[in-house]
């Protein structure tokens, strides 16, 4: 059987994304045994090599691989950061909540949006940090937090979402209104008598 890590390296060098994706998935079962090589790749000046290292780490999914994915959230390239966010969204580790909340104000709007999606997928463990992020000075962070809370719909966020209705950002108020509406807050029920 061919070494999946070697196959990944060859595919990346050849620029063959289809083969690289297949190889990255097959690296997963190797687990922590290949982490040292993948973390070396993460330090490479080659953006593609770093991106595929992060993709393979997501396929591995062990606690050590998750730690390496969290570290990749600081990569200088937004595509590598986006790959790390997507990997964390799939794995849903609670320890990624705070680093993902920090990405809500990423310079890349794409990464910030993916971070909000990832936090929504993590769900309940992310709620306290998302409620706190509604008070962030960065508009993108507040909007991302409101958007994630809209998807999760946690009852404990109702007071913070009500306060967010007065936010100066129309986007924040939109997601706060949407969340509250979906949770049935403010709805008036009456008897047809």
pTM above 0.75, yes or no: yes
* Domains in the chain, number: 1
CA distances from 123 to 77, 108, 132, 180 (A): 27, 23, 15, 17
Q: Establish if 142 belongs to a structural domain.
A: no
Domain that holds residue 53: 1-91
* 192 phi and psi angles, rounded to 5 deg: -75, 10
CATH number, domain containing residue 34: 1.25.10.10
Among 92, 97, 90, 11, which residue's Cα sits nearest to residue 52?
A: 11
- 146: in domain: no
Q: Which of 62, 56, 66 is nearest to 23 (CA)?
A: 56
In a domain, 183, yes or no: no
pLDDT along the chain (193 residues), means of 10: 84 92 92 94 95 96 97 98 98 97 97 98 97 96 97 95 95 95 70 55
CA torsion 72-76-82-85 (nearest 10°) is: 30
Whether residue 170 is contained in a domain is answered as no
DSSP 126: G
Looking at residue 184, its pLDDT comes to 86
CA distances in angstroms from 92 to 37, 131, 168, 187, 190, listed in the order given: 24, 18, 31, 33, 41
């Amino acid at each position: 059987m061919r070494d999946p890590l070697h196959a990944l390296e060859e595919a990346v060098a050849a620029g063959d994304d289809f083969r690289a994706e297949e190889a990255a998935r097959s690296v997963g079962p190797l687990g922590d045994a290949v982490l040292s090589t993948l973390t070396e790749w993460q330090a490479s000046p080659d953006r593609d090599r770093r991106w595929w290292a992060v993709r393979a780490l997501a396929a591995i999914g062990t606690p050590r691989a998750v730690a390496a994915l969290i570290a990749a959230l600081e990569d200088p390239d937004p595509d590598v950061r986006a790959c790390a966010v997507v990997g964390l969204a799939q794995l849903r580790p609670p320890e990624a909540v705070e680093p993902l909340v920090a990405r809500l104000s990423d310079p890349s709007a794409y990464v910030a949006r993916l971070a909000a999606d990832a936090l929504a997928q993590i769900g309940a463990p992310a709620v306290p940090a998302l409620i706190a992020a509604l008070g962030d000075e960065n508009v993108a962070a507040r909007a991302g937090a409101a958007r994630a809370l809209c998807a999760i719909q946690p009852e404990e966020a109702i007071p913070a979402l009500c306060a967010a209705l007065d936010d100066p950002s129309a986007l924040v108020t939109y997601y706060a209104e949407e969340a509250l509406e979906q949770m049935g807050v403010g709805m008036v029920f009456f008897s047809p008598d």
